[in-house]
Structure 1
């Protein structure tokens, strides 16, 4: 079982909302909407996806990493490396 299983419906709702925002941005571009208005919407969808990513990261840390840490050893080290790499990817994006 993955850490986000209990919040799966909430995550899917947020992702559907972000998907709708992206479709809205596509329409704006099709309709030659003013650049700043399009950029504002891009910023909003970026923030929505960042919120999903942070929620998934929090679940991963509190579930997967916590369980691996309790086991200790190589499993714990691997989960910590994996989490660190995921955080680095989020920070760079």
Structure 2
């Protein structure tokens, strides 16, 4: 497993722990702003994990596709994904 995937897994595991903590905060009736701040932090980790996975994809899958003269399909996938990300 490469370093981007390892870092992504770490970020995802951390965000999983944060989400479990957020659920407990809500169940315990904690202050809404505190809950919201934790949601923002978990969201940031998910975004970080996504960027690491995309970096790995570009450095390996897309690069390999271009070396084999079929990179256009990979570019289309990236463009579609970026379109979904930017429409949020």
Q: Decide: shared fold, TM above 0.5.
A: yes
| TM band (smaller chain) | 0.7 to 0.9
1:83: how far off? Answer: 1.4
The 4+ residue runs of structure 1 with deviation greater than 3 A are none
1:1-93 superposed matches below 5 A: 5-7=1-3, 8-72=5-69, 75-93=70-88
Question: What secondary structure, in the 3-state scheme, does the structure 1 residue paired with 2:51 have?
Answer: helix
Q: CA deviation at 1:12?
A: 1.9
User: What is the alpha-carbon distance in structure 2 between the residues aligned to residue 45 and residue 92 of structure 1?
Assistant: 20
Between the two proteins, the alignment pairs up a number of residues equal to: 87
TM-score normalized by structure 1? 0.83
TM norm structure 2: 0.88
Structure 2 unaligned spans of 5+: none
CA distance in 2, matches of 1:90, 1:24: 26
Question: 1:32 is paired with a residue of what secondary structure?
Answer: coil
Structure 1 position 22, deviation (Å): 0.1
Structure 1 regions of 5+ residues with no counterpart?
none
Output the aligned Cα RMSD: 1.4
